[in-house]
Amino acid sequence: MHRLYRAPAFFLVSLLLLITLTSFASAQFGLPGLKGQKKDSAEPSRPADGSSNSISCASGSQSAEYTEKDKKLLAEITQRPAVQEKIRQTWEEQRQTDMNKAYVRNRSSEFTNSDPTKAFEYRVSFGQLYDSPSQQRYVNSLGQQLVPADSPNVYSFKLLFDPVPSAESLSTGSVYVSTGLVAALDNEAQLSYVLAHEIAHVERKHLYNILRNQILDEELDKERQAQAERSRQKASIFGALAGAAIGGAVGGGSWAGLGAAIGGMSGYAIGTAAFRNKFQRTEWCKLYEDEADETGLKIMLDRGYDAREIPRLYTRLNGLVSRDARVALGFVAQPERVRERTANVQNLLSSTYKADIEQRLQSGGLKGSGPDFALLMSALKRDNGILALDYDLFAMARDNLEEAANLRSNDPRVHYYLGRVIAMTGRTPADAQAAIAAFQRGMRYDAQRGEYPELHLENALYLISQNNPANQPEIQSELKTYVALYQRNHAGGLPPNMPIIYDDFLLAGDSSWYIPPAVVVSTKNVDAIYVTPVAAAPPTATGDVVGRATGRMAEQATPWAPPPPSASHAAAALAAEPAPAPAPPAATPVKRTTPTTRPKGTPRP
C-alpha cells in the first residue's frame, strides 16, 4: 500500500523538475515561445555601405525575433575578419555565377536552333532570349530611361521567351522579364513599374544583403548551437543528480536510476529547443519586396508614369491565376504575394505619394503608354500566345492571341493560332464556327504571301466535317493548295502527313491525285556540277503556285519551259562570253629544193 503512493509522487516531482529546468533555460537563452523571452523586433540601423544589418529576410518571409544577447553576439560576429572575408568571397562567386548565366542566355539563339531535345534542355536550364530585335530594343531603351542618374551600376534589360510571368535582376545589373509577364500588361506605365522594381532590387543591394545575412545567420546558429550544447550538458548533469536524489527520496535505489534518466532527457530537450532551425534560402522576403515596391514606384513617378496603374497590373495577374493556377509558377503571380504587394502599393498611393500624384495630374498629367507600345506588343502578345499554346496554357494563349488580333487585325499568324486554340478547347457549335472564322480571316490576310499553308488544310477539314457532296471540288482545291504552298516553303519537300492527305482526297471523291516526292541528290565526292542559267524561273507567287496546283490556269497556261532568249538576251549572252583566244600565226612554209652538188670547201648555206 505504501508503494502505491510513491509512484504518483515520483512522477509529480519529476514533472516539476522538468518545468523548472525548462523555465530556467528559457530565461537563460531566450527560447521562442517560452516564458522569459525578450521580444525586440526593432531593426538595427543601416550601415554606411548601404547594406542591411537586419537578418530578418535571411530566414524567410517571417521576420525573426532576437534577444538583446543575440544582437550583441551578432554584432561581434560581423566584425570578425574571417566572416568578412567569407562574405566577400561569396559575393564574388555570386557575381561570377551571374556573369556565366548572362553569357549562356546571350548565346541562347545558337543552341535553341539546334537539336530539339538539346534546345529543350537548354531552355529549361538557362532560359531563352526572345528573338525579336525590335521588342528587345524597346524594352532596353525604356529600362535605361528609368535608371537613376546617380546610379553606379550598369544595366541591361532583356526579354526571356517564357509564358510564365516572371522578372529577375542579377547582381551584374542584367534584368530579365518574361514575355509571359509583359504580355499581361496593358500599357507602358505598367511595364515601367516592372522594370523599376527590378532596378530597385539592384540599387538597394538586396541580393548582397541576402547572401551576407545568410552567412551571419549561419555563424550565429553555430554560436548558439555551441552554447546550447554546453547548457545541455550542464542541465543533463544537474537533472540527473536531482532526479536521482528525488528518486532515492521517494522510492529508494530502484527509483533513483529512473529519476536520473528523466533528468538527462530534460537536459536533452533543453539543448534541442535552444538551437533554432538553420537558414533556408527563399525568394525576396516581404521586407525587400515592400522596399523595392516603394523605390520602383518613386522611380516611375519621377519619369512621369502613372503609378495608379500598378494595382491594375496586380488585378490582371490575379485574374490569370484564378483561371489557371500554373501561371503562378513564376512566383511573381502567386496569390499570397500578389495580395501583399497590392495592399502595400495601395497604402503608398493613398498616403505617402497621394499629394505628389495629385500635383502631377494638375500640372501636366501622367503617362499611361507611349506610341510604340501597342504596335510592338501586338507581336509579343502573339508570340507568347503561341508559346503558351505549346505549353497547354490555353486561357493565356487565347487571351494573348485575341489581344494581338485587336491590336493588329491583319496578321494571318494571329488568326491561324487563334483558330487552333479555339478549335482545340471549344465545346459548342458556336466555338467551331468561331474557329473556322479565324482560319478564314487568316486565309484572307495570307492570300498574297501564302506563308501558312495549314490555313487551307484547316478549311478543307472543316468542309469535310460538313458531309456535303457539293463541297468536294472546294475540298480538293484546298488540299492541293496546302500541298503546293507547303512544297514551295520547304524546298520541294512534301508534308509529313501525306498519307492522311490522300485519305482526305478519298473523302472528297478523288482517288487518283498523286504527287511524287522530291528527290534529293547528294553531290558529296562528286565533281562540280555546271548549271546553265536560264533567263527566267517558274513564278513562285502565291497565285501562280496555287493556280498550277489546282488547274485554274490550265486554260491559258502551257507547261512551263525555259523561254527562248530574246535578241537582247542573246546579245547580252554573247557579250558576256569570253572572246576566243587568237589563233597562233601560221608558220611560213619552207620551200624544199632538189639538193645539188656543191664544191668542196663551199660553206653550208
Residue range 476-489, pLDDT digits in tens: 999 999 999 999 99
Q: How far apart are CA 542 and CA 482, in angstroms?
A: 11
Provide the pLDDT for residue 569.
42
Q: Say how far apart CA 421 and CA 322 lie, in whole Å.
A: 19
pLDDT of the residue at 532: 56
Closest CA to 404 of 395, 389, 417: 417
**Residue ranges of the chain with pLDDT lower than 70?**
1-65, 112-114, 233-284, 329-334, 519-539, 553-605
SS3 157: strand
**pTM recorded for the entire structure:** 0.70
> How many CA atoms, within 13 angstroms, populate the side-chain half-sphere of residue 320?
31
Per-residue pLDDT at 307? 95
CATH 1.25.40.10 in the chain: give the residue spans: 373-507
pLDDT of 528: 60
SS3 178: strand
CATH architecture of 373-507: Alpha Horseshoe (1.25)
- Specify which residues 156 forms β-bridges with: 174
Give the number of other Cβ atoms within 10 Å of residue 292's Cβ.
23
Q: Whole-angstrom Cα distance, residue 140 to residue 143?
A: 5
| pLDDT tens digits, one per residue of 288-342 | 888 999 999 999 999 999 999 999 998 888 888 888 888 776 655 567 778 888 8
